[in-house]
Amino acid sequence: MNRWSNLIFMMAVCIAAPQGGTAEPQPGARDLAWVEKRAQELEPAAQDRRIDEIGWASDIRQARRLAAENDRPVFLFTHDGHINTGRC
Amino acid sequence: MRAGPLSNTRVISLLNRFFVPVYAANEDYRDGGAQPADEKAEYNRIFKEAHAAKLSVGTVHVYILSPAGHPIDSLHVATAAKTERLIDLLERTVEKLHVREGKALVSPVTQSAPPACAADSLVLHLTSRSLDGRGAWSDFPVEDWIVLNRDEWEKLMPRSQLQAGDSWEVGKDISARLLTHFYPPTENNDVAKNRFERQSLKATVVSVQSGAVRARIAGELKMQHSFYHKEDGKVVEATVVGFIDFEPASRTIRSFQVVTDQATYGGGTFGVAVRSLK
């Protein structure tokens, strides 16, 4: 194909693409890869979740039972909101 | 507490080796709260016994209970949040009670877990974090779990035959369910107090292959959200973008993810990501 044929072919591809099975955004746009990367960047990292390193009892009654069985004191933290998700 | 002493290696080690740690969200222990009656009774007993023992008491507080379950020490959160003060309380307790060192009595697990829900629910995990340390708390990202039942998530996809380029507006009730959680880490987390000035999510099909549809989602919101519980006129403004993959024939959502593109609040910027569980 000569230069003009190439140009006409490329224009035809560009026009036809949205009418076919796909119309993916151009690379560099807010495409799927960008969304996935951004979501990953916003996820909590291990250092954000050090609270998970503590062996928390599920509730006060379980804590009391374990304390009595193992002769250990209970550390109870009462708070507003949800410390497990950080919305507190 | 979470970003301070409860992220400190020494505190974590002391709690695991010598104590039975437990936390209690006050909302769950009030009238109408999620905890059962006997759990609420324990919480109230501890508070009353601590008061009778002339210990400091409060709703946001650290209490140390003896192995028999009686309050023997306490700290207001403002003091307990100082790591050295909390370490002092823990070490003092270990010494006073001659606590024997051992392994953690409960295996540490991820504390932010998906809520119990029907098997056919769409469970979405949301993360929100300050991006510049301004206008919101920035110690660590916060999370939410959003559960849409089948009737709700079915509204994310239309019933009509689809081809690339087709688009539809997500119902306002469903977009509101998602976007009301789009705010940075703040003291106020009562989403019932949020007020939308505008909000929308629009989906546009980008591909149809082998019965699977991929649609790009774009949207925006402007929402009043006070930092504390007292109204302060602060507003979230955000644009969002994402993708949904689904199979119209089987009415199945394969994946859903939406993130903020631009988001501002209280003079700062923040980011939110929502993703369906795999």
CA neighbor of A67 nearest in space, from B46, B145, B235, B1:
B46
pLDDT tens digit sequence for B52-71 = 999 999 999 999 999 999 99
B160 — pLDDT class (breaks 50, 70, 90):
confident
Tens digits of per-residue pLDDT, B61-113?
999 999 999 999 999 999 999 999 999 999 999 999 999 999 999 999 999 99
Residue A59: how many other CB atoms lie within 10 Å:
18
Residue A13 is predicted with a pLDDT of 38
Instruction: Name the pairing type of β-strands B20-25 and A74-79.
Output: parallel
Q: Are the CB atoms for B200 and B219 separated by under 8 Å? A: yes
Q: Per-residue pLDDT for B186 more than 60?
A: yes
Q: What is the pTM of this model?
A: 0.87
Confidence of residue A11 (pLDDT cuts 50, 70, 90): very low
Among B8, B9, B16, B20, the residue to mutate for chain A (most A Cβ within 10 A) = B20
Partner-chain residue, chosen from B6, B80, B144, that has the shortest CB–CB distance to A87: B144
Answer whether residue A21 shows pLDDT above 80. no
Residue A17 pLDDT > 70: no
Output the pLDDT for position A15: 40
Cα angle for residues B87, B91, B96 (degrees, 5° grid): 150
Indicate which of A32, A37, A42 best probes the interface with B, i.e. most B CBs within 10 Å of its own CB: A42
Dihedral class, residue B267 (left if φ above 0, else alpha if ψ from -120 to 50, else beta): left
Give the closest of A35, A57, A66 to B259, CB-based.
A35
Which of A22, A30, A43 is nearest residue B127 as measured by Cβ atoms? Answer: A43
Q: Does B93 touch chain A (CB under 8 A)?
A: yes
Whether A26 shows a pLDDT value over 90: the answer reads no
Q: Which residue of B has its CA nearest to A71?
A: B67
CA B192 to chain centre: 15
| Average pLDDT of span B148-160 | 93
Q: How many Cβ contacts (< 8 angstroms) between chains A and B?
A: 256
Interval B131-154 mean pLDDT: 95
Instruction: Give the residue-averaged pLDDT of A47-65.
Output: 97
- Considering CB atoms only, which of A44, A55, A58 is closest to B143? A44
A24 close to B207: Cβ distance less than 8 angstroms:
yes
- The average pLDDT across B142-157 equals 96
Q: Which residue of B has its CA nearest to A38?
A: B259
Q: Indicate whether A1 pLDDT > 90.
A: no
Whether residue A28 is predicted with pLDDT greater than 50 in this model: the reply is: yes
Distance from CA of A2 to the nearest CA of B (A): 32
Share of chain B above pLDDT 70, in %: 100
Q: Quick one: closest CA in B to A48, which residue?
A: B140
For chain A, what's the residue count? 88
Task: Tell me the shortest Cα–Cα distance from A8 to chain B, in angstroms.
Answer: 24
**Cα(A45)–Cα(A43) distance, rounded to whole angstroms?**
6
Question: How distant is the Cα of A16 from the closest Cα of chain B, in angstroms?
Answer: 12
Distance to chain B for A1, nearest Cα, Å: 30
Over range A15-27, report the average pLDDT: 45
- Position B10 pLDDT exceeds 90: yes
Per-window interface: B 126-185 vs A, CB < 8 A = 127-129, 140-145, 164-165, 185
- What's the confidence (pLDDT) of residue A2? 47
Task: Measure CB to CB from residue A52 to each of B15, B39, B110 and give the nearest one.
Answer: B110
Residue B158 reports pLDDT greater than 50: yes
User: Rounded CA gap, B183 and B224, in Å?
Assistant: 10
**What DSSP assignment string belongs to B66-112?**
-TTS-EEEEEEHHHHTSHHHHHHHHHHHHHHHTPPP---SS----SS
* Element (DSSP H or E) covering residue B14: helix B9-18
Contact B2 A63 (CB under 8 A): no
Q: Look at B106 and A50 and tell me if their CB atoms are within 8 Å.
A: no
